[in-house]
Structure 1
C-alpha cells in the first residue's frame, strides 16, 4: 500500500485516514451492489460478488489511487438484456471475455483513446440508462412488475398508480423520500452517513416492525457453493460476441471517464489510465469467472471515498474486505431488506443519471442535440443503437462545423472586400471558390481572413486563387497565410512564404477544432 499524497507521512498515517473512509464507501456500496443486481435481473449475490472483486482486485492493481470500482448502474440495462437473451451463465462468460479485452487494451496503452468519445454521447448514454432504470423500477416500487420495454412501462404506469399494492408501495415511496430528504437533514458529522444506507436501513426497519408481507432479498446460506460458473454458448455466437465487445467498450469508457473525473476531486497522484484499464480487465475476468456482474470505476463511490478523507488505494481495497465479510458472515441480515426498498433506491440513482448540470453545459456548447439523440436511441431502441446514433450525430455536427465557413463579397468605392469567417477547411472550399468567382478580373481585392480554423485545402485554395488573380492583372491584399495558419493552431504546410500584403486586421481566433 502506498501513501498517495507526496510528503503525507508514513503509511500508518495514510491508513488512519483510509480505514474510516473504507467504512463509508462500504456503507454506500452495499445497498447499491444489491440494487444494481436487482436492476440487472441477476441474483443479488452476483452484485455483491462484483463489489468484492472490484474492491479487492482493482484496489490492489489499479492505476487511479482514489477511484472505487464495483457494479455500476450504467451497465445494468445492458446486462439485463444479455441475461434475458443468453442466461446468467453465458453473460458471466461474456463479462470474463470482456475483461480479457480490457487487459489487452491496457497492455496496448490505448486507454486515452476512450476519452475521444464525445462527452455528450457518454452523458446521453447514462441519462438514457437512468430513464430506463426509473421506468422499470418504479413499477416494483409501486408493488408491481416491470414491463419489457420503456414504452410498455410508460403505458402501464397509470394503471399501476391506480392500483397501489399496499405495504410494498408504501415502503418503496418511503425509501425514495429518505434518499431525497436525508442530504438536507444531515448536519455536522451526520453528513458522513450516506443517504442510501439511511434509506435502506430505515425502510427495512419499518418493514420489520410493521410485519409487512413483502418480497425480500434472498442470499444463499453458503455463497461459495452457489457461485454461478460461466458457460460458453453452444450456438448463436453473434449475441455472445456482441455482448463481449459492448461490455468491454462501455465499461472501459465509463471507468476511464470516472478516473479522469476523480482526478479533479483531489490533489494526490494522477491516475495512470492504462494501468487502471488493465486492472479493470483483471477484475472483470475474475468477476465473470465467479458469477459476478461487470465492474467499472464508479464516480458516486469514488466521490464518497474522497469526501471521507481517503489517502490511498487501501480505502478501496478495505471496502472490498468489508463487503466480503458481510457476504460470508452477515448475509442473513440482507434477508431483512425488501426488494421494493432496493427498487426505490434505484429510482433515485437512475434519476440522478439525468444530470441537469451536464445538460446546461452541453447546451452552452451547442451539443445538446447529440445528447438528446443518444438518450432517445437508448430509451427507444437499445443501448448500442443509442450510442451509435449519438456518435453519428456527433460526427455530422463536427463535419458541419468544419464546413461552416461564411464568405461575404462586397464592393466598396470601386474595390472588392472579401470577408471569410468560420472554419475554412476542405468541406468549405467549394463555397469559398463560388464566392471568389463573383469578383471580376483586374479589380483591387482585399481579403479579410477572420477564420478560427484553416486546413491545408483552404490554404492552397486561397494561395492558388490569389496567385492566379494577380497574374490576370488584379491586386490582392490579405494577411500572410503563413501567419493565419500558425494562429489557427496548425503546423505550417510548407516552407514557402506567401508574398502577399499584410492587412491591418488582426485574426480573432478562439482555437482550432
Structure 2
C-alpha cells in the first residue's frame, strides 16, 4: 500500500478515530509506567508525546505505536537508584539513544528476522492473556491502579492471578456496569449490521464506549450516588492549564555525570533492552498488519534512538515500540502513521488544556477496550490453529505463552526461541539424510546441507549396514557438507573392506582432497572395492 501524502489523506477517516482510541489507552499507561518506574509522572507523558510526534515520522512502520514500556520499569527504577537522581538517569537515556542510532547504522535490525512466527505469535497471545488478567480488576472496580498496566514482571505474576480471582468477589456495581455495557458496545460495533451502515460505521466503537462511561457516571453522581464511580477509579491526569506550566515540567539531563562510568553501563543496558523490545514489537505488529507491510528494522532502531535522545533531553522515560498500544491502534482501524502521530498530539494538547475533562473518564471504560484487545490477541482459535500445524509449531507457541506469563517478556521469548531452535535442529536432524534398502543394496543419500549435528545420525545409518552388502553414498544434491561428516565417511571407507562392504561414492570428487587426504584417495579406495 502506498504511503504518499495522498494515501495519508485517503485514510484520515480511519486514522483520526484510531488515534483517539490509542490516546485514551496510552494516557493511563504513560502515567502508570512513570509511577512504577519511580520517575516523575509527567515523564511518562513526555515519552508518549515524543513516541507519537517524533518517532512516528522517522519510523518505517505504519502502525507501530511508540512510548514508555512496562518491560523497562524495573531497569529504570534501579537505574535511578543506582545513579542517585533522575537527571543523571536522563543523561544515560540520551547516551542510550545515541547507541541505538549506532545499532541502526550497523544494521543490527536484522536480528528481528530470526524470531520464528510461532514465538512471535506466542508473545502476542501471552500479552493478550496478561491484558485480560490485569484488566479484569479494573473492569470490576476492584483495583484502583492504572487501567493500562501491561507489566510482564515475574513478581507480579502470582499477585496478578490473585487479584484476578479476588476482583470477582469485590465487584463495584457502577464500574462493572460501565465495563459490561462498554464491552457490549465494542462487540456490537464488530457486527455486520454496524459495518453495513454507512453512518454508524463512521463512529468508532471505543470512543462511544468512553462517552457512555462518562455520561453514566455523571448521571449517577446526580441521581444515583450508590452507582457512582469513586474518583480513585477515574483517570488521573495532572492539570497544567498553560504552556508555561508545561515548560516548567521539563527536566534537562545533568551533564556533570559524564565522567561517571555507571552512566555508560546503564546506557548500554537501556539501548540493548529497548532495541530488543522494539524489534520484537515490530515483528509482532507486522504480523497483525492487515496490509502485511514489512517494516525496515534498521530504520526503526534509528528512529527509536532519536526518540530516546529527545525524550532524555526533555525529561522523559525510555521509549520502545509497544504491543498493547499498537494492537489497540490496529484494532481501532488505524491504517497509517497518522494515527500514531495524532495520538502524540492529543497527549500534548490534553495535558495543556483538557485534563479536567479527561479526568472524568472511568478506568473501567479503558479496561473494556483493553479486554477486547486482549481477547483478539489471545483467541482460543489461535491455539487450535497452531495445534493443527503440529508439535514443532504448537510447542514453541505454547511454551512462549506460559514462559512470558511466569517470567517476563525477554526471558519468555528466550525460552520460546530455545524451544523453536530445538525443533528446527530436530527437523534438520531427520531430513538431512535418508537410508533406503533393496535386498543387499543400500542407498545413503545426503540432502542439501549436512552439518556436524547430523554426525550421530550418519554413524547410526552406517552402523546399520550389514556385512557383505553394497552401499552407494550419494552427496550430489548437497550444498554443504561439514568437515566432521566427511571424516566420518572417510573412516567408514577405510573400515569397509574388513566387513566386505562394497562402497560407491557419488558427488564427493573434490571433498576428500580438501580434508587433507591424498587426491587419489577416493578413486583408489573405490577401485579397490570393485566400483571404479
Using the TM superposition, give the Cα deviation of residue 440 of structure 1 relative to its aligned residue in structure 2, in angstroms: 4.5
String of CA shifts for 1:2-54, please: whole Å, max 9, x gaps.
xx839x7xx5x455325445423322211121243366364875554334322
Select 2:306's aligned residue among 266, 271, 282: 282
Write the mapping of 1:310-349 to structure 2, written as runs, cut at 5 A: 310=336, 316-349=340-373
8 Å contact 1:45–1:219 — kept in the other structure? no
Select 1:49's aligned residue among 26, 46, 56: 46
User: Take 1:320 and 1:161, find their aligned partners in 2: how far apart are those partners?
Assistant: 35
**TM-score of the pair, normalised by structure 2:** 0.72
User: Take 1:343 and 1:44, find their aligned partners in 2: how far apart are those partners?
Assistant: 20
Using the TM superposition, give the Cα deviation of residue 254 of structure 1 relative to its aligned residue in structure 2, in angstroms: 3.1
Q: Does 1:160 align with 2:187?
A: no
TM-aligned CA distance change 1:342 to 1:163, over 3 Å = same
Write the mapping of 1:177-216 to structure 2, written as runs, cut at 5 A: 177-184=184-191, 186-187=194-195, 188-189=197-198, 190-211=200-221, 212-214=228-230, 215=232, 216=234
TM-aligned CA distance change 1:291 to 1:406, over 3 Å = closer
User: What's the counterpart of residue 437 of structure 1?
Assistant: 463
TM-aligned CA distance change 1:213 to 1:356, over 3 Å = closer
8 Å contact 1:31–1:196 — kept in the other structure? no
Is the partner of 1:404 in helix, strand or coil? Answer: helix
Is the partner of 1:295 in helix, strand or coil? Answer: strand
Q: Does 1:62 align with 2:70?
A: no
Using the TM superposition, give the Cα deviation of residue 265 of structure 1 relative to its aligned residue in structure 2, in angstroms: 1.0
Unaligned runs of 5+ in 1: 486-491, 502-513
Using the TM superposition, give the Cα deviation of residue 333 of structure 1 relative to its aligned residue in structure 2, in angstroms: 2.0
**CA RMSD for the aligned pairs?**
4.6
User: What's the counterpart of residue 319 of structure 2?
Assistant: 294
Select 1:244's aligned residue among 261, 270, 273: 270
String of CA shifts for 1:203-241, please: whole Å, max 9, x gaps.
222222222242222222224434466788999989956
String of CA shifts for 1:115-149, please: whole Å, max 9, x gaps.
21333333333433333333233222222238962
Unaligned runs of 5+ in 2: 146-154, 222-227, 241-245, 527-532
String of CA shifts for 1:429-475, please: whole Å, max 9, x gaps.
13322431343555322457899996424751575267546766643
Write the mapping of 1:320-469 to structure 2, written as runs, cut at 5 A: 320-354=344-378, 356=380, 359-360=383-384, 362-363=386-387, 364=389, 366-404=392-430, 412-416=438-442, 424-446=450-472, 455-457=481-483, 460-461=486-487, 463-464=489-490, 467-468=493-494
Using the TM superposition, give the Cα deviation of residue 161 of structure 1 relative to its aligned residue in structure 2, in angstroms: 1.5
Q: Does 1:225 align with 2:248?
A: yes
TM-aligned CA distance change 1:442 to 1:254, over 3 Å = closer
Select 2:503's aligned residue among 465, 472, 476: 476
8 Å contact 1:34–1:45 — kept in the other structure? no
8 Å contact 2:14–2:334 — kept in the other structure? yes
User: What's the counterpart of residue 105 of structure 2?
Assistant: 107
8 Å contact 1:67–1:262 — kept in the other structure? no
Q: Does 1:256 align with 2:264?
A: no
User: Take 2:172 and 2:380, find their aligned partners in 1: how far apart are those partners?
Assistant: 32
The more displaced of 325-334 and 236-245 is 236-245
Is the partner of 1:445 in helix, strand or coil? Answer: strand
User: What's the counterpart of residue 122 of structure 2?
Assistant: 124
Q: Does 1:23 align with 2:16?
A: yes
User: Take 1:409 and 1:47, find their aligned partners in 2: how far apart are those partners?
Assistant: 62
User: What's the counterpart of residue 33 of structure 2?
Assistant: 40
8 Å contact 2:289–2:330 — kept in the other structure? no
The more displaced of 393-402 and 371-380 is 393-402
Using the TM superposition, give the Cα deviation of residue 279 of structure 1 relative to its aligned residue in structure 2, in angstroms: 1.0
User: Take 2:400 and 2:91, find their aligned partners in 1: how far apart are those partners?
Assistant: 28
User: What's the counterpart of residue 150 of structure 1?
Assistant: 157
User: Take 1:151 and 1:452, find their aligned partners in 2: how far apart are those partners?
Assistant: 51
User: What's the counterpart of residue 509 of structure 1?
Assistant: none
8 Å contact 1:24–1:304 — kept in the other structure? no
**TM-score of the pair, normalised by structure 1:** 0.75
